[in-house]
Amino acid sequence: QRSPNEHAQEVSGMFSRIARWYDFLNHLLSGGLDYYWRQQLVRATVPGDKKLMLDLAAGTMDVSLEIVRQHPTSKVAALDYCRPMLTTGRKKLTKGRDKRIFPVHADGRTLPLPDNSVDCATISFGIRNIIPREDAFKELNRVLVPGGRLCILEFGTGKHPVWKGFYNLYLKKILP
């Protein structure tokens, strides 16, 4: 069995290989629904007094960009373990948005942020890639202000056995 660090390196390697195609594949494989999903995720966020939000597993920073679009006075710490994904996302930082989004190469199990430093945190399609997840949840809890909100966007499973079977086939075989 792989260690959590070996797993992290493997996941980072996979995303490194597809970083420049990630957005295209995301939009194509979701049928464009990813735009709506991100918009709804950010609608659930609540800016606070610190005016700082965390976008963990930020990837190419689509959620970070949506945060600054919906919450123009907020800043975003865009953290990801895969440096090539952040490099690809940096190309999107234009028109002053780059002054409110701070991309940082970081491990979700050991966040480089002080205690109680962010009002809200998001993680979009990334929590499944962090093991042990408990470490990430402890870190998220540590950096969130008391009463801060964590918003997670992740794939689930279907409830009806037929749809669940198709969905799991898509999620495990086609999507990767």
Q: Residue for token digits 């070996």?
A: 6
Average pLDDT of the segment spanning 105-110: 96
- List pLDDT tens digits, range 49-90: 999 999 999 999 999 999 999 999 999 999 999 999 999 999
Give the rounded percent of residues in the chain with a pLDDT score beyond 90: 56
What pLDDT shows up at residue 156? 66
- List pLDDT tens digits, range 20-43: 887 887 778 778 888 999 999 999
Average pLDDT of the segment spanning 85-107: 87
pLDDT category, 133, cuts 50, 70, 90? Answer: very high
Separation CA 93–CA 121 (nearest Å): 20
What pLDDT shows up at residue 25? 79
The pTM score is 0.85
Contact at 8 Å (CB) between 120 and 47? yes
Give the rounded percent of residues in the chain with a pLDDT score beyond 70: 86
Across the beta sheet with 144-153, the strand order is 101-105, 75-80, 52-56, 118-124, 144-153
Q: Give the count of beta carbons closer than 10 Å to the beta carbon of residue 106.
A: 20
pLDDT category, 172, cuts 50, 70, 90? Answer: low
What pLDDT shows up at residue 78? 98
pLDDT category, 95, cuts 50, 70, 90? Answer: low
Of 15-24, 86-95, 140-149, 151-160, highest mean pLDDT: 140-149
**DSSP β-bridge partners for residue 153:** 124
Separation CA 17–CA 176 (nearest Å): 12
